[in-house]
Amino acid sequence: MSDSIVVKLEAGLVSMIEDAETAAGTRIYPDMLPQKITYPAITYSDISDMGHQDIGVDYPRYNVTVWSKRRLATKNLAEELLNLLHRYKGVLNGVRVKSISKMDSPGTLYDREAGVYYIPQDFKIIYERVI
C-alpha cells in the first residue's frame, strides 16, 4: 500500500528541514521529544485538518517547535525555520504545495523543570489533494 498524501507531505517537510542543515541537524521528531535527547531539536505535529470540500485543496495547520537549552539558540533556530518555511511554494516529496504561511504563535516558552526553551510556530500548509 502506498503512503497517504499526508504521510508524503510530512516526510517531505522533514527532508526539507534536514536538507537546510539547521543547528538541529536530523533531530526532527513527530509529536514529542524522545526521552534521551540532544539539543537543539525540532518536533512537528498536525494540529487541525482543514480543507475545501468543493475543490481538491487542503490547508491543515501544522506545528513546528524548536527546543534548546539556550535562549538565543532557540530564537535563531526558530528564525531559520521561519525563513525556510514561510512563503514556501513548490513540490514536497511529490505533493504540490501552493503555499506555506506562518500563523499566530505564542513566542518563547520555558520549561522550568527541564531548563529548556522552546518556540512553537504554526504554519498553514495549502496543498493539492491529488498527486
Partner 1 sequence: MAQKSGVQVHGLEEMQKEIEKLVDEMEDELQIGTDDAANAVAGTLRQNAPRGPSGNLAESITTKPLPRRADMPQVTMVGADYRIAPHQHLVEFGSVKWQGNPFFRRSIDGMRGAIQSAIKSKAEQPVRRRGG
Site residues for partner 1 per CB under 8 A: 31-33, 37, 45, 47-48, 50, 61, 63, 65, 67, 106, 109, 111, 113-114, 116, 118, 120, 122
44 or 85: CB nearest partner 1: 44
Q: Least distance (Å) from partner 1 to the CB of residue 47?
A: 5
SS3 130: coil
Beta strands in 82-130 (DSSP E): 90-92, 95-102, 109-111, 116-128
Q: Least distance (Å) from partner 1 to the CB of residue 101?
A: 14
Q: Least distance (Å) from partner 1 to the CB of residue 34?
A: 11
24 or 93: CB nearest partner 1: 24
Q: What is the DSSP string of 31-76?
A: SS--SS-PSSEEEEEEEE--B-SSSSEE--EEEEEEEESSHHHHHH
39 or 93: CB nearest partner 1: 39
Reported as type and span, the H/E element at residue 5 is helix 5-19
